């Protein structure tokens, strides 16, 4: 499925987590345009439960969106999910009693330590691996490879598409919650199409069928995104002054994504995964290759 709506689900997770983490006193001080909705004013939960509820909230919204959207396919599905992500962002801007509107939320407790982030990363990877190794994973792969053939065999393709879409929305909501608790400030501008583009670029560069590839590409692309901030700053060479060009690094990454799609469609790993067997076989082949080179005169 070609979904472009994950920025919207991350926004839901981020705002739900922020509201549950803030104390009643902080909420009263921060909601200056309109008072916060009364049911939310005194709600405050621990970080773990806030993240879980954030993921579940995004999953529920994802399930509601899935029913009308997943009857589409291909490019139409991508456009529809992108539209819903933008609708979510606009609703966040206008629902001031719940989200503080365009002012965003500041002073969120920074509970997302390194251990929490890596713990959720490990849980996500283990969950996806176990899911793919189960019968449900086999059905999802069958639908991905040939949906018509899967339907012919009696598979309820729509049900499994809704299931996978909801799971994706849950983990996007968790990611948004961790982001909010890491940077302590969120606003609707953060969850625009550029965030969706970054996620899409990571998945395509890593390989559409590889969990390991997505992890590796997320590390590489995040480092590159931060390193390339220098190209947006003004440059004074003494004899010439080059003004900064905002957004230039995204132009560079757009070109990189275009090259990957045109000439390297499988990405870094394609559908391959790192495993102990793969590593052992690679080391054995490397050792045999070195031994053969040593024997040559």
* pLDDT value at residue 171: 92
Residues 210 and 187 in one domain: no
How many Cα atoms sit within 13 Å of 172 on the Cβ side?
28
Question: Is residue 213 within 8 Å of 206, Cβ to Cβ?
Answer: yes
Residues 86 and 176 in one domain: yes
Residue 219, domain extent? 193-297
For the beta carbon of residue 273, count every other beta carbon within 10 angstroms. 15
Residues 164 and 279 in one domain: no
Total count of domains within the chain: 2
Residues 120 and 198 in one domain: no
Residues 40 and 93 in one domain: yes
Q: Is the pLDDT of residue 138 over 90?
A: no
Residues 201 and 113 in one domain: no
Position with higher pLDDT, 123 vs 255:
123
Residues 137 and 273 in one domain: no
* pLDDT tier for residue 290 given thresholds of 50, 70 and 90: low
Please identify, among 168, 191, 214, the residue that sits at the C-terminal boundary of a domain: 191
Interior angle at CA 84, CA 137 and CA 221, nearest 5 = 65
pTM of the model: 0.83
* pLDDT value at residue 221: 84
Please identify, among 150, 174, 191, the residue that sits at the C-terminal boundary of a domain: 191
Q: Is the pLDDT of residue 61 over 60?
A: yes
Residues 211 and 102 in one domain: no
Residues 106 and 230 in one domain: no
Please identify, among 156, 172, 191, the residue that sits at the C-terminal boundary of a domain: 191
* pLDDT tier for residue 60 given thresholds of 50, 70 and 90: very high
* pLDDT tier for residue 12 given thresholds of 50, 70 and 90: very high
Q: Take residue 179 and report the two structure tokens written for it.
A: 């982001």
Mean pLDDT of 146-170: 85
* pLDDT value at residue 222: 84
* pLDDT tier for residue 54 given thresholds of 50, 70 and 90: very high
Average pLDDT, the chain: 82
Residues 145 and 208 in one domain: no
Q: For the ranges 156-170, 180-194, 251-265, 274-288, which has the lowest average pLDDT?
A: 274-288
Residues 159 and 294 in one domain: no
Residues 127 and 81 in one domain: yes
Mean pLDDT of 264-280: 68
Q: Is the pLDDT of residue 170 over 90?
A: yes
The pLDDT tens digits for 177-232 are 999 999 988 988 888 888 888 888 888 887 777 788 888 888 888 888 877 777 77
Please list the alpha-helical segments (H only) found in the chain.
6-21, 24-30, 38-41, 47-69, 75-94, 96-99, 114-133, 135-145, 147-152, 157-183, 193-206, 211-227, 248-263, 276-295
């Amino acid at each position: 499925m070609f979904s472009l709506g994950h920025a919207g689900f991350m926004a839901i997770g981020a705002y739900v987590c922020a509201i549950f983490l803030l104390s009643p006193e902080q909420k009263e001080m921060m909601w200056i345009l309109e008072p916060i909705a009364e049911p939310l004013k005194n709600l405050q939960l621990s970080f773990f439960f806030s993240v879980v509820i954030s993921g579940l909230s995004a999953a529920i919204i994802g399930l509601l969106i899935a029913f009308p959207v997943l009857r589409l396919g291909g490019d139409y599905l991508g456009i529809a999910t992108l539209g819903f992500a933008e609708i979510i962002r606009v609703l966040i801007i206008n629902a001031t009693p719940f989200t503080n509107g365009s002012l965003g939320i500041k002073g969120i407790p920074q509970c997302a330590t390194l251990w929490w982030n890596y713990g959720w990363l490990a849980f996500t990877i283990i969950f996806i691996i176990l899911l793919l190794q189960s019968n449900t994973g086999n059905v999802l792969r069958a639908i991905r490879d040939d949906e018509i053939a899967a339907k012919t065999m009696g598979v309820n393709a729509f049900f499994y598409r809704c299931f996978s879409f909801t799971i994706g929305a849950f983990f996007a909501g968790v990611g948004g919650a961790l982001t909010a608790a890491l940077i302590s400030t969120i606003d609707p501008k953060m969850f625009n199409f550029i965030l969706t583009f970054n996620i899409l670029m990571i998945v395509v560069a890593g390989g559409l069928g590889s969990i390991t590839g997505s992890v590796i590409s997320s590390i590489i692309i995040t480092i590159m995104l931060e390193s390339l901030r220098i190209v947006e700053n003004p440059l004074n060479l003494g004899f010439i002054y080059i003004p900064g060009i905002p957004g230039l690094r995204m132009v560079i990454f757009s070109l990189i994504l275009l090259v990957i799609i045109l000439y390297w469609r499988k990405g870094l790993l394609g559908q391959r995964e790192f495993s102990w067997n793969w590593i052992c076989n690679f080391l054995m082949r490397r050792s045999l290759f070195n031994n053969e080179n040593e024997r040559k005169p």
